Amino acid sequence: MKNHMFNICKKCGQKFEVAKNHSNQLYCGSQLLKLGCSYINSLDKHRDYYIKNKLKITEKVKTYYANNKAEIKGRMRAYSIKNKNKIQEKHQEYYTKTREKILQEKKEYHLKVKYDLTPQKYQEMLEAQNGVCAICGGINNTSKRTKLYVDHCHDSNTVRGLLCDSCNRGLGNFKDNMSNLSKAIQYLTKWEEL
């Protein structure tokens, strides 16, 4: 004699037979088991309706928001205040999970916007310089980050090369003024001779 186990679907309320070894199954329409829950069928109907009437629905939502903006913002503010810790935990959890991806995207965005460089172009420049600073030939070991910085002309915004933190700051402190750099070289040479 076969033992049959039944549950009531938490979504549609229909009684359904539980699959073997799935006694904790709560929904008859589990997407994994493809059992055809009427709740999921109703979702399909809603999706179809939305697709057919997207513009009308969007306009209705915009109108409702425009007419009830203060009330909606008040509810959102109240929810934010009431659930501040929960919201912060969710944000922290998301950031922790996606930290590396976010930092990489920020770096790529910065290169593109400020210097019009793609990550591939940066990599090509790095390889052309053998992975070292274009001035001192060293690697960037003075800061927490080990990357080389993009050096560019502040007047024309032309990218010149990749520099370590020290050389990049040095040029910046001299404001790219060759006359001052020459004077600095003469000054150092004078004191080297003594």
pTM: 0.52
Q: What is the pLDDT of residues 82-113, one digit of tens each?
A: 999 999 999 999 999 999 999 889 989 999 99
Q: What is the pLDDT of residues 22-62, one digit of tens each?
A: 666 666 655 444 545 555 666 667 788 888 999 999 999 99
pLDDT at 1: 41
Closest CA to 133 of 168, 159, 158, 97: 168
pLDDT at 131: 87
The DSSP secondary-structure symbol of 147 reads P
Q: Is the distance from CB of 166 to CB of 136 less than 8 angstroms?
A: yes
Domain ranges of the chain: 6-79
The DSSP secondary-structure symbol of 148 reads P
CB atoms within 10 A of CB 85: 8
Q: Taking the CA of residue 144 as centre, how many other CA atoms within 13 Å lie in the half-sphere pointing to its CB?
A: 0
